[in-house]
Amino acid sequence: MHTVMVRPDDEFGKDYGLIHEAVVTGRKAGAGREFWAKIAHDRTLFEKAVTFVRGVDFVGTTQDRAFKIMGPSFFGVAEAIQHFQVNPSPHKLDDLSRIPFSERTLEECRDTHVLLAVFPLSINQIRNRVAAKHGHLFSDSQWYQDQPFATDRGKTEWQLVRRTPVPNSTGAMAWQERVALLGRGEEVPKARVVIYMMTAFYFLTGDSLFRNVRVYCADMRTEDSHIDIGGIDPGKIQGDCHRGLASARKPG
């Protein structure tokens, strides 16, 4: 998921030539000292400027409001610390300070999705951290441990992930046919995000998702096939009739 803040690299603040150009161009557009003084000390205003430049409408919801909307489908920072033993730095908490989904989007998704504060944890790390008390959440198979999709840690972000396969996406069909079923503002998440969501949902409710179905994710297993996950008993899930597509909402 994508935060509206763009943290500069270590050298950016030393690029005085670029900063001077910005000041000169801004002056031509009417941005004087008062403008820079306001934007320098107002993060929300700066976020609006950043999102406008990136061509994205400014949206966002506070965590308190999101919790009230999503109810038991809200897995926030406190829950991640409790269940995944994460120890977020101030920078990571800053990244999560505002949720990049509008209240309208959350209202639309409250009964179908889970809102997650996602921290950089690979599938292997998630498995290891819950193994002692909840080892049943993962199968005994370990074929994937060295695969890139299982070692990818991702980044700190908010994700809004669907709890069921995309409607009408189960059955025998090509990848592009499944993807064509995605709604506006939807995308296929990585396996790491889906497993994070499945594990978090269990912690929130005690229920398991995708019990009798598997969902395809964005990660590739081979050059022409995608990773699919789910199913309490994989042996009972045979063929494409029990396989659908995972989805998550894009920020907005």
Q: Which distant-in-sequence residues (6+ apart) come within 8 Å of 25 by Cβ? A: none
Assess if residue 58 is contained within a domain: no
Mode of pairing for the β-strands spanning 214-222 and 225-230 = antiparallel
Tell me: do 114 and 213 sit in the same domain. Answer: yes
Q: In percent, how much of the chain has pLDDT > 90? A: 47
Q: How far apart are CA 79 and CA 85, in angstroms?
A: 9
Average pLDDT over residues 109-115: 97
Is the pTM above the cut of 0.75? Answer: no
Q: Does 180 lie in the same domain as 85?
A: yes
pLDDT digits (tens, 9 = 90+) for 13-52: 566 777 878 888 878 777 888 888 888 888 777 876 766 6
For 19, the domain range is 12-53
Structure tokens at 131: 């193994």
pLDDT band at 235 (very low <50, low <70, confident <90, very high): low
The total domain count for the chain is 2
Give me the pLDDT at residue 3, please.
42
pLDDT tens, residue by residue, 219-232: 998 888 899 888 76
DSSP string computed for 59-104 = --B-HHHHHHHHGGGEE-HHHHHHHH-----HHHHHHTSSBSS-HH
1 part of a folded domain: no
Residues 92 and 210 in one domain: yes
Same domain assignment for residues 162 and 209: yes
What DSSP state is assigned to residue 166? P
Residue 226 maps to a domain: yes
pLDDT 10s digits, 130-174: 876 776 666 666 766 788 888 999 999 999 999 999 999 998 999
More confident residue, 44 or 217: 217
- Name the β-bridge partners of 115: 74, 160
CA 251 to CA 57: how far, in whole Å?
10
Residue 211 covered by a domain = yes
Closest by Cα among 108, 96, 123, 99 to 186: 108
Q: 201 and 84 share a domain?
A: yes
- The answer to whether residue 2 sits within a structural domain is no
Residues 6+ apart with CB under 8 A from 47: 4, 5, 58, 60, 98
